[in-house]
Amino acid sequence: MPFKWFGKISFVPYTRVTDFADHLKDGKLMGSKCCDCGQVTFPPRADCLGCMSSEFDWIEYSGEAVLNTYTIIHAAPTGFDDIVPYMLGIVDLPEGGRLMGWMGDVAPEEIEIGMKLKVVPRIFDEIPEIKVHYTLEKA
Ligand SMILES: [Zn+2]
């Protein structure tokens, strides 16, 4: 147990935003919109940061994105060391919120802060611990 020294950890596998993963399997990128004040968030939140309301609706995101920052990984964690170097990006979503994903079809010499990208949700079937990830492709 790597966190034994940290004390007891509560883990709840189902939350009110669990449907997010099911939407991703259908290829839909979903955020949440507060029913009371209209605040939009990504990743989705069951409880509004703006007004603390617990009523929300799902809204589908367009997948449009603008590159906020990126990194090129040369010293990877165990399990990823066979694919170095690889690039990760953090994008701003025009509907609201940010997302981190793997750079897809963008070459290192093409990458530029502020470039437009497209978020593509993907499912790993072969890696049980990580089910969902995103790639950031050229828009
Ligand atoms: Zn609200």
| Residues 19-43: tens digit of each pLDDT | 887 788 788 899 999 999 999 999 8
Using the mean position of ligand 1's atoms as its centre, give its distance from the Cα of residue 57 in Å.
11
| pLDDT higher than threshold 80 for residue 137 | yes
The CA 130 to ligand 1 mean position distance, Å, reads: 31
pLDDT at position 53 is: 95
What's the pLDDT tens digit per position in 44-57? 988 999 999 999 99
Residue 126 CA, ligand 1 centroid: distance in Å:
38
Domains of the chain with bracketed CATH: 12-61 (no CATH), 62-139 (2.40.50.840)
pLDDT interval class at 132 (50, 70, 90): confident
Reference 42, options 10, 72, 64; nearest CA is 64
Ligand 1 midpoint to CA 56 (Å): 8
Are 47 and 41 within 8 A, CB to CB? no
CA of 47 to the centre of ligand 1 (A): 8
* Average pLDDT over all residues of the chain: 86
CA of 40 to the centre of ligand 1 (A): 9
Single out the residue of 42, 62, 64, 41 nearest to residue 51, CA to CA.
Answer: 41
Q: Which of 129, 135, 25 is nearest to 77 (CA)?
A: 129
CA of 89 to the centre of ligand 1 (A): 29
Task: Render 21-84 in DSSP notation, one character per residue.
Answer: HHHHHTT--EEEEETTT--EESS--SS-TTT----EEEEE---EEEEEEEEEESSPPTTSTTS-
What phi, psi does 31 have (nearest 5°)?
Answer: -115, -175
How remote is the CA of residue 112 from the centroid of ligand 1, in Å? Answer: 34
